[in-house]
Structure formats: C-alpha cells, structure tokens
C-alpha cells in the first residue's frame, strides 16, 4: 500500500491532487519522474552513479540506494507514471527531526534554459543562497509528545535571513525549538558533535568534494536527520547526513565543484560555531508563524 511520506520537508509534495513522492511499508521511496528533462536526468544520474565502481563505500552511503524505476499510479490521479525507486531515508526513524539544506550559491545547471536560469537566479538572490552559499529549503523539528513537530510553512522558510538560518541551525538541536527564549542547543554535542555526528559526516563529504572533478551537484540538498527521543533516552541519536535531488547534476569535466564545496564549507562553519559556542545565540526570539 503506497502512502504520502510523513517526513518530507521540501520539494514537490503529494496530496490535494498534486504530483509528489510516495512511500511503501518496506522502506522504499517512490519519486515521480518530472515529465521534462529533470526526470530523465535524475534517472541517468542514479543509473550511472549506482554502477560506478570508483565511488568509495564511505561516500556511497550518503546517497539513497537506487532500486531502478517502476511504473506506478501517480499521486495526482493522472494515471501510470514512471517513478524512481529509492531507499526511504526516514524509514528507520519514529519522530525524525529533518532539515533540507539546498547547497550552492547557484542552483542551476549551465545547460538549463534561460527562463529556468532566471527563475533560479531570482530565488538564489532573494534567499541566503548568495550570501551563505546554501539555503534551508524546509525542515521539521520534533519538540515532544505533546507538541509534536514544528514544520513551518515554505513561505516562512524561503524568507529566512542569514541570522534566521544561524538561529534555526541552533533550534534544530534544541529541546525548546519553538520557545521565544534562546535555543538551549542541548542536543548539539550529541547530534552535531562526536566522531559519528553530523559535523564529522559533513567533513567526510567535504574531503570527497575537494577531490572529485567528475560531477557538479547543482541544486542538490544535504539532508540532516536525527531522532530526539533516542538521544533523550541515552541511545544514539542516529544523526545522519544524506544527499538528495540529482535532477540538475552536470559533468564536472575535470573541474572541482566549487559551487557545492563553497556551500558545504559554509554550512560546516555554522555547525562548528554552534559546537564551539552553544550559548551564543545570534538573535533572540522565535521565528514562529503568525497565528
């Protein structure tokens, strides 16, 4: 039985007659192919990447496992459509806090149409993509049993300033994400820190990007996830970094992916700052939506 994913935080979403991804009960995530070049480009990426023996295992684990494509009844009721069959990254989580960070100051592939480039340029200029080299595309933060998740509207997220981004990266690892008081960053060391935490994983990814010159990852997202309840119970937080959205990957032609690498370094810097000074909140107050 296919259903709408409970923990999707950005991108095209199913529901209300819209076309979006679906999940099943066995841990698979079905992403419909967009009818334009994006769909075929993402299939081409996964097909070539999954058979590329030069990708080391410690890097491959950042990517969802690819199980091919499958014709499925689309979520918008338009009939049978080809879907990418991927590993559902949220499958093993109960109440995952998830953040989608779109990396790069430039989110368009140089081969894109002029109209598409203009549309992306506008968003890159109006968001933190330009000043920070990345923007938060969406997130959900689990607070507790009573309040559930804080999952702000896309409009609020797209309006984030650099200070908002710094603040949300703190809230993401705080027990009081929705409070008007300073985020306590009480999960920072267990989620961002440690030998297997998010910072260590981002640094591992960075080392690969400092080296690889075959692919340029435009408009690709880093997904950061962890389980707050597991961390509270003293178990591992299961902090994970993954990469998604490969519809705009281009050939690297022997050149470092400066666009991705720059954004990744910027994200690493902000996460590191939280670990070194968890008490210094850059801005006070909350980012809650108006009632």
Ligand X SMILES: O=P(O)(O)O[C@@H]1[C@@H](OP(=O)(O)O)[C@H](OP(=O)(O)O)[C@H](O)[C@H](OP(=O)(O)O)[C@H]1OP(=O)(O)O
Shortest distance, position 276 Cβ to ligand ADP, whole Å: 28
Among positions 214-243, residues that touch ligand X (CB under 6 A) are: 219, 221
Interaction between residue 43 and ligand X (CB under 6 A): no
Contact with ligand ADP (CB under 6 A) among 222, 231, 247, 264: 247
Burial of 269 (0-12, 13-18, 19+ CB in 10 A): exposed
Any residues with CB less than 8 A from the CB of 120 and at least 6 apart, and which?
A: 106, 107, 108, 112, 219
Residues 132-171, one symbol each (x = binds ligand ADP by CB under 6 A, - = not), give ------x---------------------------------
Q: Does 245 bind ligand X (CB under 6 A)?
A: yes
**CB–CB of 239/226 below 8 Å?**
yes
Q: How far apart are CA 45 and CA 242, in angstroms?
A: 16
- DSSP 3-state assignment of 118? helix
Residue 227 touching ligand ADP (CB under 6 A): no
Q: What contacts 287, CB < 8 A, 6 or more positions away?
A: 152, 156, 160, 164, 167, 168, 171
CA–CA gap between residue 140 and residue 129 (Å, rounded):
20
11 binds ligand X (CB under 6 A): yes
x-marked contacts with ligand ADP along 172-191 as a string, rule CB under 6 A: --------------------
Q: Tell whether residue 137 is a contact of ligand X (CB under 6 A).
A: yes
Question: Is 21 within 8 Å of 30 (Cβ atoms)?
Answer: yes
- Residues in 101-120 at the binding interface with ligand X, rule: CB under 6 A: 102
- In the complex with ligand X, which residue's Cβ is closer, 183 or 263? 263
252 three-state secondary structure: coil
| Cβ 50 vs Cβ 86: under 8 Å | no
List of residues 6+ apart from 241 with CB closer than 8 A: 62, 198, 201, 202, 205, 222, 223, 224
| Member of 39, 64, 152, 263 binding ligand ADP (CB under 6 A) | 64
Residue 89 partner contact from ligand ADP, ligand X, none using kind-dependent CB cut-offs of 5 to 8 Å: ligand ADP
217 binds, among ligand X, ligand ADP, none (CB under 5 to 8 A by kind): none
Q: Which is nearer to ligand ADP, 243 or 281 (CB)?
A: 243
Give the interface with ligand ADP as residue ranges (CB under 6 A): 5, 8-12, 29, 64, 86-90, 98, 100, 138, 221, 223, 244-245, 247
Give the interface with ligand X as residue ranges (CB under 6 A): 10-11, 38, 100, 102, 123, 137-138, 219, 221, 245, 247
């Amino acid at each position: 039985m296919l259903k709408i994913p409970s923990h999707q935080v950005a991108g095209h979403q199913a529901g209300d007659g819209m076309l979006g991804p679906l999940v099943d009960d066995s841990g698979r995530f079905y992403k419909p192919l967009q009818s334009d070049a994006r769909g075929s480009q993402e299939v081409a990426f996964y097909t070539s990447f999954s058979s590329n023996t030069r990708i080391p295992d410690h890097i491959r684990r950042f990517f969802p496992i690819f199980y091919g494509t499958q014709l499925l009844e689309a979520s918008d009721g338009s009939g049978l459509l080809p879907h990418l069959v991927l590993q559902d990254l949220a499958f093993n989580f109960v109440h995952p806090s998830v953040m989608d960070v779109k990396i790069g100051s430039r989110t368009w592939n140089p081969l894109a149409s002029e109209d598409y480039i203009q549309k992306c340029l506008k968003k890159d200029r109006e968001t933190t993509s330009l000043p920070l080299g990345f923007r938060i595309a969406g997130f959900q933060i689990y607070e507790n049993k009573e309040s559930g998740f804080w999952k702000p509207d896309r409009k609020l997220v797209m309006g984030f300033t650099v200070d908002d981004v710094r603040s949300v990266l703190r809230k993401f690892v705080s027990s009081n994400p929705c409070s008007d008081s300073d985020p306590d960053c009480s999960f920072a060391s267990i989620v961002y820190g440690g030998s297997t935490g998010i910072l260590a994983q981002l640094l591992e990814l960075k080392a690969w990007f400092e080296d690889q010159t075959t692919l340029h990852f435009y408009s690709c997202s880093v997904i950061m996830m962890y389980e707050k309840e597991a961390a509270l119970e003293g178990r591992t937080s299961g902090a994970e970094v993954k990469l998604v959205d490969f519809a705009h990957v281009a050939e690297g032609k022997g050149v470092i992916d400066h666009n991705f690498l720059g954004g990744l370094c910027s994200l690493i810097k902000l996460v590191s700052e939280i670990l070194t000074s968890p008490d210094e909140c850059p801005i006070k107050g909350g980012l809650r939506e108006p009632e």
